A and B are shown apart, each in its own frame.
Chain A
Amino acid sequence: MSQVESMLGVKILTPIRPGIERGVIAATPGTETSPDIDVEKKLKEAFARGWSVIVWNDPVNLMDYVVYVFKTVLKMNEQEASRHMWEVHKQGKSVVARETQEKSELLVHRLRGFGLNATMEQI
């Protein structure tokens, strides 16, 4: 049991089964859910850079404009921005950032505000 589980006194009640005399067993990770542990897990996930921001190709956006948007929104330098622009153009998409869920959402909003087709995906 982890320290957090121990502090929370995580235990589950089970019906009496052969081999379990008192009907109470110590919980092992992965065998039960607790709202507190869910919160901890969700916090960990929220702060992990577990999301990719992807920009997809489209027939209309200008290459120079896309580079400008990458520099403005993603604070890329010229070289990085043009590399990602070419990747979008040649391969149809490019992963332009790996961020937390919240930051990825913000970046998708801003890129879409400039008219780029951006989405996010869990890594």
Chain B
Amino acid sequence: MTCEPTEPGHWRLTFPEPEAIFIINVLARLARHYQENVSQLPPALRAFWQGKITSGKSTDAEELKESQETLSEARAELRSERLALAENWVREFELTEKRDPWKVEISSAERDEFVAMLNDRRMLLALEIGITESNMEIDPGEIPNEKRRHAILEIDVLGHFILVTLGPQIYRP
């Protein structure tokens, strides 16, 4: 995959077909997830999507309750917006005849949403499987549990796509 600027604020993503199929599968899974009722999700995922606005001390419990509700509503809206975006990408791919390579032209705002969605998938996998920092530091090949190994591999691969998409704008230590 490559990501090149076409004009200020616009980018072209180019995927070889196998990578495009992988990304479309990820987006299709995300679309299914975004449609699920948050209250029916497992506790870790539910907490992720409802969000918690404050930590530590606070003085006005009533006002913060409102802020908490606003955050939860904003998170719900975000899910709807991302559902529409994921469905658009999947539909565009299905309608495209020339898929090798598959080219997508997007704005900077759409690019940010795209990487945030890939990051959603990484976060959801980690929360669902209960992946810890130490899990992420070992060679996935050494992880005996297949489900956990696959999740870590997918998290790694999606991380690669995020970094390529952000390209030269990201920090390189």
Contact = CB atoms under 8 A, between A and B. Distances in A.
Interface in A28-67: 54, 57-65, 67
A62 B67 contact: no
Query: Looking at chain A's contact residues, is the secondary structure mostly helix, strand, loop, or mixed?
Result: helix
Contacts, number: 91
Contacts of A120: 53-55
A1 B60 CA distance: 26
B95 interface: no
B135 interface: yes
23 contacts: A60-B123, A60-B126, A60-B131, A60-B136, A61-B122, A62-B159, A64-B170, A65-B163, A67-B171, A68-B169, A78-B171, A85-B171, A101-B63, A101-B67, A109-B74, A113-B78, A114-B119, A115-B120, A115-B122, A119-B55, A120-B53, A121-B56, A122-B54
A62 B74 CA distance: 24
Given A59-B136, A68-B170, A108-B71, A122 B163 contact: no
B84 interface: no
In the A-B complex, the 3 residue pairs with the smallest Cβ-Cβ separation, listed nearest first, are: A67-B171, A121-B56, A59-B133
Chief secondary structure at chain B's binding surface = helix
Contact of B57 (A60, A81, A122): A122
Interface of B: 51-59, 63, 67, 70-71, 74-75, 78, 112, 115-116, 119-120, 122-123, 126, 131-133, 135-136, 155, 159, 162-163, 166, 169-173
A65 B71 contact: no
Interface of A: 54, 57-65, 67-68, 71-72, 78, 81-82, 85, 101, 105, 108-109, 112-115, 119-122
B71 A109 contact: yes
A81 to B, nearest CB: 7
Contacts of A72: 112
Contacts of B115: 65
Contact of A112 (B57, B59, B75, B135): B75
Contacts of B58: 121-122
A67 B71 contact: no
Contact of A82 (B51, B136, B173): B173
Contacts of B71: 105, 108-109, 112
Nearest to B68: A105
Contacts of A108: 51, 53, 71
